[in-house]
Amino acid sequence: MHTNLLLSVQNLSVAFDTRHGRVAVLDKVNLNLHKGETLAIVGESGSGKSVTAYAALGILDPAGKITNGKVEFEGRNLLELSSQEMRKLRGRDFAMIFQNPRTALNPIRKVGRQIEDVLQAHNPGMGAKARKEAAIEQLASVKITDPTRRYNAYPYELSGGMCQRVMIAIALACKPRLLIADEPTTGLDVTTQVVIMDLVHELAQAHGMATLLITHDLGLAADYCSRIAVMHAGQVLEDAPVATLFKGARHPYTARLMAATLQPGITLEKLVSIPGQLPDLRQPQPSCRFSTRCERCLPQCKEPGLALMPYSNNTSHLIACRNPL
Amino acid sequence: MGLNESLFSQFWIYLKDLLQGDMGRSFTTGQPVTQDLMERLPASLELTLLGLFIAIIVGLPLGMLAATHPNSWIDHICRLLTTSGVCLPTFFTGLVLIYIFYYLLGWAPAPMGRLDLFSSPPQDVTGFYLIDSALAGEWAIFRSALAQLILPSITLALFALAPLARITRAGLLGVLNSDFIRSAKAAGLPRRVILVRYALRNSLLPVVNTMGMVFSYLLGINVLVEKVFAWPGIGSYALEALIASDYAPVQGFVLSIAVLYVLLNLIVDLLCSLIDPRVERAA
Ligand SMILES: Nc1ncnc2c1ncn2[C@@H]1O[C@H](COP(=O)(O)OP(=O)(O)OP(=O)(O)O)[C@@H](O)[C@H]1O
Ligand SMILES: [Mg+2]
């Protein structure tokens, strides 16, 4: 099992230096992703999902500092690599796609050229002609019709769904082993969402590529992933296979998140919102950052020493809670 | 001249003459205004273009460095230059430069026109002394013309530098924070490619627009700088005519500046559509 581990994030803490002082955005985040596996990170807006991905890829804002922890990719600690070595891994071994595909592409460069830029960055020896052919082939692989013509298109000439396909083509150009998809369908209409997610899923299967899907939609996570990690205010609160989680979520926050998600059999009236809002991270936080919003909160919940641990000796179901359901 | 006619017929006469390229005659020089202007325009253009050129080769890299190293010493220098550049009136900068480099240090030649007393103008091809003397291979004249040009063009450049560096810095900073730069980083593109091919080209649009604007400011400011440096261009010509209440040259000057503005905007628009495919579509 250990040899199968692709990405391992261990006790990752990230702080941002802002005008209001230091904000501890991530608090000891732990995630494990095996080869070919599909993992979803689910959480409210602002819970630190994107920051986790950026920190792992080394594209964090200069204001963000990694204060603790390790990120291992196939056993190598990425945080010890030089920025030059990291650059060579990005796009080749792991790649990322983003929300708002229209703004994620260079607006004044032909999309074909943008694919070529990635190919050139990672295969310096490739000739211009071979590169162009590869770029067109890449456009065809994401099911863009008439790829030879679309090679010359600018992003503003394409629809949002088309732009996301191009993003996927760019991300997968060098056949990475890990794809991080940060809310790839936010900002697209519902039908396009399904098409794009199916495409990502299909390509990942075809290449045996692991996928880390970042979303705030539990339903989407359940449809396309085998495991779900639930994040809240920079902490991973529960991490379990989809079936386990939907049968018996153990963390009060996960349970509330489920109750707030549309599922078959639940009517709109039964949909419950989660009380309170994300804690203000500029203030010192108790050990469990959910405790202020939790109705099962015990006095010891505020004490230090909270950790992600197997629930009742089930190593695939991890939970960080002192008073689970 | 028809000064006894009604205003309407005077205007009509003026328009008719104008269509034939006749802008009237100057009282002071006794020559047709069109001929005067054509003789002096190259002097003004050579000075203004060189000033703009210096401002661009200093201002763009300065703004770029300031944007890529925010809050470093180069950023502070950029801020200092851009603030002082807009605060100091150009004729004052010109006078200070003359005082330091001609009067105190003696490095610069006397601010007395386009050439020193011992040189004669090169054979007229473009009217730009630098180009004409280089074409004729007369390097002594070239040196003299360049020496005369340096102080006034730096005066203009110091003024033009401020908006250029500021817009480059602001534009590049904005672009560097945008989504597509993040995706370019995530795709592992080299730093240089991200900076030049992705960031810089995208921030060029406002810079080119500012360049056009700055150039038109410079044409106006030229009037004073030419006076300070006794430069035989259209600015000093118009100023002298104004003082002598010689109206035809002033009219001619205003009209030719307006034509230059229009041409300039056309060039800027063409450049913009070269840089950004979306502009072409909108036009
Ligand atoms: N550059 C930054 N400077 C300061 N704080 C930041 C910065 N980037 C992110 N943060 C903070 O980090 C926290 C987590 O942000 P993040 O973008 O990871 O949330 P998210 O879970 O991805 O939310 P969303 O679903 O809206 O994308 C937020 O509270 C945000 O304010
Ligand atoms: Mg996010």
Helix (H, G, I), strand (E, B) or coil at A240: strand
Bridge partners of residue A32, in order along the sequence: A8
pLDDT in tens, A194-253: 999 999 999 999 999 999 999 988 989 999 999 999 999 999 999 999 999 988 889 999
B 129-168 residues with CB < 8 A to A: none
User: What pLDDT score was predicted for residue A162?
Assistant: 93
Question: Above pLDDT 70, what percent of chain B?
Answer: 98
Instruction: Give the count of Cβ contacts less than 8 A between chain A and B.
Output: 79
Banded pLDDT at A269 (limits 50, 70, 90): low
| The two structure tokens encoding residue A298 | 């015990």
Ligand nearest to the CA of A52: 1
Task: Confirm or reject contact between B191 and chain A (CB < 8 A).
Answer: yes
B266 CA to middle of ligand 2, Å? 43
User: What pLDDT score was predicted for residue B280?
Assistant: 64
Indicate yes or no: CB of A108 within 8 angstroms of CB of B278. Answer: yes
Domains of chain B: 39-172+184-282 (1.10.3720.10)
Among A29-33, B146-150, B268-272, B274-278, which range has the highest average pLDDT?
A29-33
**A105 lies in some domain:** no
User: What pLDDT score was predicted for residue B123?
Assistant: 81
User: In this structure, what are the phi and psi dihedrals at residue B219, rounded to the nearest 5 degrees?
Assistant: -60, -40
In this predicted complex, what is the ipTM? 0.89
Indicate yes or no: CB of A106 within 8 angstroms of CB of B180. Answer: yes
Q: Burial code of A145-181, b = ≥16 C-beta within 10 A, e = fewer?
A: eebeebbebbbeebebbbbbbbbbbbbbbbebbbbbb
Banded pLDDT at A268 (limits 50, 70, 90): low
Entry pTM: 0.83
Task: Confirm or reject contact between B69 and chain A (CB < 8 A).
Answer: no
- Residues comprising chain A, all counted: 325
Instruction: Determine the residue type at A57.
Output: L
Q: What residue in A sits closest to B276 (Cα-Cα)?
A: A108
Atom of ligand 1 nearest to the CA of A281: 29
Q: How far apart are CA B184 and CA A121, in angstroms?
A: 11
User: What pLDDT score was predicted for residue A302?
Assistant: 84
Measured CA angle at A156 (ends A150, A157), to 5 deg? 40
Going A246 to A249 to A255 to A257, the CA torsion angle's sign is negative
Task: Confirm or reject contact between B202 and chain A (CB < 8 A).
Answer: yes
Task: Confirm or reject contact between A106 and chain B (CB < 8 A).
Answer: yes
For atom 5 of ligand 1, the residue with the nearest CA is A16
**A99 lies in some domain:** no
User: In this structure, what are the phi and psi dihedrals at residue A105, rounded to the nearest 5 degrees?
Assistant: -105, 150
Indicate yes or no: CB of B187 within 8 angstroms of CB of A57. Answer: no
Candidate from A42, A47, A67, A180 with most ligand 1 atoms within 8 A of CB, to mutate? A47
**A102 lies in some domain:** no
The CATH number for A58's domain is 3.40.50.300
Residues 6 or more apart whose Cβ sits within 8 Å of residue B12 = none
pLDDT in tens, B151-191: 999 989 988 888 999 999 999 999 999 999 999 999 999 99
User: What pLDDT score was predicted for residue B185?
Assistant: 94
| The two structure tokens encoding residue A153 | 């298109």
* Domain interval for residue A295: 5-93+176-319
Q: How many CB atoms lie within 10 A of CB A139?
A: 24
**A64 lies in some domain:** yes
Candidate from A12, A27, A50 with most ligand 1 atoms within 8 A of CB, to mutate? A50
Nearest to B170 by CA among B43, B98, B70: B70
pLDDT in tens, B20-77: 888 888 888 888 888 888 888 999 999 999 999 999 999 999 999 999 888 889 899 8
pLDDT in tens, A83-141: 999 999 999 999 999 988 989 999 999 999 999 999 999 999 999 999 999 999 999 99
Q: What residue in B sits closest to A176 (Cα-Cα)?
A: B187
**A113 lies in some domain:** no
Indicate yes or no: CB of B185 within 8 angstroms of CB of A156. Answer: no
- Treating both helix axes as pointing N-terminal to C-terminal, what angle do B234-243 and B33-68 enclose, rounded to 10 degrees? 120
Interface test with A, best of B180, B273, B276 (most A CBs within 10 A): B180
- Residues comprising chain B, all counted: 283
**A155 lies in some domain:** no
**A292 lies in some domain:** yes
DSSP code, position A78: G
B 161-180 residues with CB < 8 A to A: 178-180
Indicate yes or no: CB of A106 within 8 angstroms of CB of B182. Answer: no
pLDDT in tens, B94-112: 888 888 888 888 887 888 7
Interface test with B, best of A78, A84, A117 (most B CBs within 10 A): A117
Q: How far apart are CA A279 and CA B25, in angstroms?
A: 79
